Amino acid sequence: MKAMVLHGLGQPLKLAEVPLPKVGPNDVLVRVRACGVGLTVVILVATPGRITSYPRIPGHEIAGEVSAVGSEVKNVKIGQRVTNHFYLTCGNCIHCRSGRETLCLAPRGNVGAACDGGYAEYIALPERNVIPIPGGVSDVEAAVASDAIATPYHACHEEARVGPGDSVLIIGAGGGVGVHMVQMARLCGGRVLAADIGADKLALAKHWGADEVIDARRGDLAKQVMALTDGRGANACIDIVGNKQSLETGLQSLALLGRLVIIGAKPKAVYKDDPSFSIDPGYFLHRGLELHASRYVNAAEIAQTLELVRRKRITPVITQTFALEEVEAAHELIRQNKTTGRIALVIN
């Protein structure tokens, strides 16, 4: 089969002809039709220690149809369309059993890092990692939904607890996760204040439902949030950028009892800048603030997200698609922060 293969940390991916993945007794083999491309995978291929061995095929937001199943697979059938969960988990620990599998006590790493991923014609995944795609949701929509829409579902619903009338500041609102966060926060009843850099990203956030847009390059984000909320601040800030400046600005933008939600982080190993941020405990305490880590989703949340897409309550925003062999061009656009909305591979 064809695959885009990584031979070492930070190296460019190379097109290669490789054997079909081995299918263990509890695995399913999926013919990949689409694979989302986002910041997570770009950071993953450049961060020391994340990829367990080389050569490795990255990619973790897949959709396609099951073409073979292992002898112990019970609930997945050949021909069924599926997407996937990004974490390889034990399924048995207390966190897995309570729907917090991203905090698995015996984690085996991630799809596309500890096992081969979806930048290929086929992928083998544990049965536990695949989620059926409902009719009416296309492969590329499902691939994007499994991460770039599911992550906003968890962040808005469980962490930011966005309710009717809440002001929600989204930092990084025009990117692949951000543009779905805007829609999800609106769906939860929030009033969305969308911050990003550049007219294209702000226009996209506005198009998908942002009530107000703020160009973060102006440098007075917290002040603008206060002005737009009659001096109260935002009830929640969901920070998709995750550097020192954005996190500290997010804290300063919160109303009393406000929730700051960390979605992603810019690791120092990749971005050079230290993302550590400081909190004044007095300020934090007296304002009754909350700090939340929103770490991906559980499998049920992916299923719920796919249902929202099927019912057209939320729209996958896919601004550009690439062929398998063009994946480096897609990664480069993300490295340069030149993408608006989500981009994806379509693998025929």
Binding site for Zn ion (CB under 5 A): 89-90, 93, 96, 104
Angle value at C-alpha 259, between 257 and 260, nearest 5 degrees: 140
- SS3 of residue 328 by DSSP: helix
Concatenating the DSSP letter of every residue in 168-192 gives: EEEETTTSTTHHHHHHHHHHTTPEE
Report in angstroms how near the CB of residue 125 gets to Zn ion at its nearest: 16
Helix/strand/coil (H/E/C) assignment for every residue in 247-305 = HHHHHHCEEEEEEEEECCCCCHHHHCCCCCCCCCHHHHHHCCCEEEECCCCCHHHHHHH
Going edge to edge, which strands form the sheet with 167-171? Answer: 212-215, 191-196, 167-171, 234-239, 254-262, 290-293
Instruction: Please say whether the beta carbons of 196 and 218 come within 8 A.
Output: no
Report in angstroms how near the CB of residue 155 gets to Zn ion at its nearest: 22
Strand partners, 37: 343
How far is 43 from 179, CA to CA, in rounded Å? 20
How far is 343 from 348, CA to CA, in rounded Å? 16
Report in angstroms how near the CB of residue 93 gets to Zn ion at its nearest: 3
Amino acid at site 67: S
Nearer Cβ to Zn ion (83/89) = 89
How far is 142 from 309, CA to CA, in rounded Å? 8
Report in angstroms how near the CB of residue 131 gets to Zn ion at its nearest: 17
Report in angstroms how near the CB of residue 136 gets to Zn ion at its nearest: 33
Nearer Cβ to Zn ion (101/212) = 101
Report in angstroms how near the CB of residue 153 gets to Zn ion at its nearest: 21
Nearer Cβ to Zn ion (105/285) = 105
Nearer Cβ to Zn ion (89/253) = 89
Report in angstroms how near the CB of residue 295 gets to Zn ion at its nearest: 14
Nearer Cβ to Zn ion (13/104) = 104
- Compute, in degrees rounded to 10, the torsion defined by CA atoms 112, 116, 122, 126: -90
Nearer Cβ to Zn ion (87/122) = 87
Nearer Cβ to Zn ion (93/303) = 93
How far is 303 from 326, CA to CA, in rounded Å? 30
Nearer Cβ to Zn ion (76/96) = 96
Instruction: Please say whether the beta carbons of 316 and 139 come within 8 A.
Output: no
Report in angstroms how near the CB of residue 76 gets to Zn ion at its nearest: 20
Nearer Cβ to Zn ion (10/99) = 99
How far is 152 from 191, CA to CA, in rounded Å? 15
Report in angstroms how near the CB of residue 92 gets to Zn ion at its nearest: 6
